[in-house]
Structure 1
Amino acid sequence: MTINHHPSDETLLRYASGTLDAGPRLVVAVHVGGCRVCAERVLQFEAIGGEMLDDIEPVEMSADALDRALARIEVTPEQEPSAPAGTKRRRADVGIRLPEVLDGCEVGRWWWIGPGLRWSRVTLPDDPGANVMLLKIGAGRKLPEHTHTGREYTQVLTGSFADARGRYVPGDLDEADSEVEHQPVVDSKAECICIAALEGNMRLRGFFGRMIQPLIDG
């Protein structure tokens, strides 16, 4: 499998430094897990970050620093998670084998949002409000024309789609910002399933787009 579309260096740097929001971080993790080029790039950024930390002059900690840190991480019985770390959460049958990085997430059933269009909510345990979804688009179908109020990260899991910027196949990640207005079209041979995360919101164009906008936002 040849991967032609990757996250930007800015995104990979944010991923390596832990400053990427939870939703985009999940989608980028799916990509990095299957892309040797990006995995090596992340290691390079982590090494650079480690060297920068080594060059920082150490600062003496306050006498009560350890006590304050322990107080922050104490967990009362009421705060304990309902399932042990690493336990697989509820997963609806979405028809494909999902990447392992989603094992800690809740994956909902497919919901109809239009002819040939389905979506499923992905809920992250550490950030339930993150805007992450699975999209299933039928063969030959088009998504409504849309733009974004922030960056959109879309990783292709199965099938393929194309827009004016190129063609995206399994393993490819499409990173689109607010300056991109596009209408992805799925290949006529097979449906396409993607995982997507938004830093802002998707803004759909046209009459049909405005009709299903509340479903996407909800």
Structure 2
Amino acid sequence: MPALVKGRLPWRRMGPGIRHLPLIGRQADGTSARLLAVDPRTPLPEHGHGGNEYTIVLQGGFADETGTYTQGDVAELDENVTHRPVVGNEPCLCLVVTGAPLRFTQALPRLLQPLFGL
């Protein structure tokens, strides 16, 4: 877990090497926000979007089908994009805001989705 996220905040494990801290739960309009902390070289589940997804890289970086993003970069994706982000060689911390629930391509993430409010 990135050094920035150690402490007493209520981080929730989402899978091996992936933790999140919900900031704004799913709103009536579908919007939610969370911090996402991911260990080095960890792939996130492949997913698409029901609306826009904005990811601001606070520490580290990741790459996906749309490009490579490092500290300070913003990835703006819409419902036409399906991707599988993979974290680089150092821990990654991002602020992620979504305008609608994610659309996972694999069965297990779809089953777990309600537990995490994604």
TM-score scaled to structure 1, two decimals?
0.47
- The structure with the largest strand share of the pair is 2
- Letter in structure 1 aligned against 2:102: M
The match for 1:196 is: 96
Q: Name the count of aligned residue pairs.
A: 111
Letter in 1 for 2:45: P
Q: Give the alignment of 1:63-212 within 5 angstroms.
A: 95-96=3-4, 109-123=10-24, 129=27, 130-187=31-88, 189-212=89-112
Please state how far the C-alpha of 1:123 moved relative to its aligned partner: 3.6
Assess, with a 3 A threshold, how the Cα gap between structure 1 residues 217 and 123 changes in structure 2: closer, same or farther: closer
In structure 1, the gaps of 5 or more residues are: 1-93, 98-107
Hey, what's the Cα distance between the residues in 1 that align with 2:97 and 2:39?
Answer: 20
Q: Point out the structure with max Rg over C-alpha.
A: 1
Please list the CA deviations of residues 147-168 of structure 1 after superposition, one character each: whole Å capped at 9, or x if unmatched.
0100000000001100111100
8 Å CA contact 1:203–1:213 kept in 2: the answer is no
Letter in 1 for 2:32: N
Q: For residues 17-36 of structure 1, what are the structure 2 equivalents within 5 Å?
A: none
- Any idea what SS the aligned residue of 1:96 has? helix
Q: Helix, strand or coil: the match of 1:196?
A: strand
Distance 2:20 2:77 in 1: 19
Q: Is the alpha carbon distance of 1:123 and 1:200 closer, same or farther for their aligned partners in structure 2, counting shifts above 3 Å?
A: closer
**In structure 2, how many angstroms separate the alpha carbons of the residues matched to 1:114 and 1:169?**
22
In structure 2, what is the Cα distance between the partners aligned to 1:198 and 1:123?
10
Q: Which runs of 5+ in 2 are unaligned?
A: none
